[in-house]
């Protein structure tokens, strides 16, 4: 599983963080890390600390917040995803299909009007 930041992916100068290049087993590991660290223990989750994630060009930490704000950054290298507990529970629901079978489809992990989207894509995306 790779973690990558892509700048200005469209004419609106939107950005994207994507988790890509993974199979069903890695999707299960990712889901379990969110479930255990965030949902069960109420702690932040540094994705770069997970042994199955390879950072291509960024660092991302998932934080529990009072409001769903999505991914934010100050320098386009270190990122924070601020979601409510319900936002992370919804993320688990969105990841679930990838844990049951290998698929080529991709999924945004939240639906928030923000400059940086969060894409879950086993085989990358058409943005390559």
Q: pLDDT in tens for each of the 128 residues of the chain?
A: 999 999 988 888 889 999 999 999 999 999 999 999 999 999 999 999 999 999 999 999 999 999 999 999 989 899 999 999 999 999 999 999 999 998 889 999 999 999 999 999 998 754 54
What residues have CB less than 8 Å from 33, skipping those under 6 apart?
Answer: 45, 50
Spans of all domains in the chain: 2-7+14-121
The predicted pLDDT at position 128 comes to 43
Work out the end-to-end distance of the chain between its first and last CA atoms, rounded to an integer number of angstroms: 16
Pairing type for strands 15-20 and 59-64 reads unpaired
Judged by DSSP in three states, 89 sits in helix
SS3 46: strand
Instruction: Look at residues 36, 45, 84 and name the one whose alpha carbon lies nearest to residue 64.
Output: 84
Pick the CATH number of 2-7+14-121 from 3.20.20.80, 1.10.1740.110, 3.30.565.10, 3.30.1360.230: 3.30.1360.230
């Amino acid at each position: 599983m790779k973690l990558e930041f892509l700048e200005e992916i469209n004419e609106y100068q939107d950005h994207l963080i994507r988790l890509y290049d993974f199979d069903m087993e890695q999707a299960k590991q990712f889901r379990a890390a969110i479930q255990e660290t965030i949902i069960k223990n109420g702690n932040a989750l540094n994705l770069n600390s997970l042994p199955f994630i390879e950072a291509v060009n960024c660092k991302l930490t998932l934080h529990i917040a009072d409001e769903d704000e999505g991914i934010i950054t100050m320098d386009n290298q270190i990122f924070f995803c601020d979601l409510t507990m319900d936002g992370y529970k919804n993320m688990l629901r969105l990841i679930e299909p990838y844990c049951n079978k290998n698929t080529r489809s991709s999924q945004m992990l939240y639906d928030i009007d923000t400059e940086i989207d969060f894409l879950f894509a086993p085989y990358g995306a058409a943005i390559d």
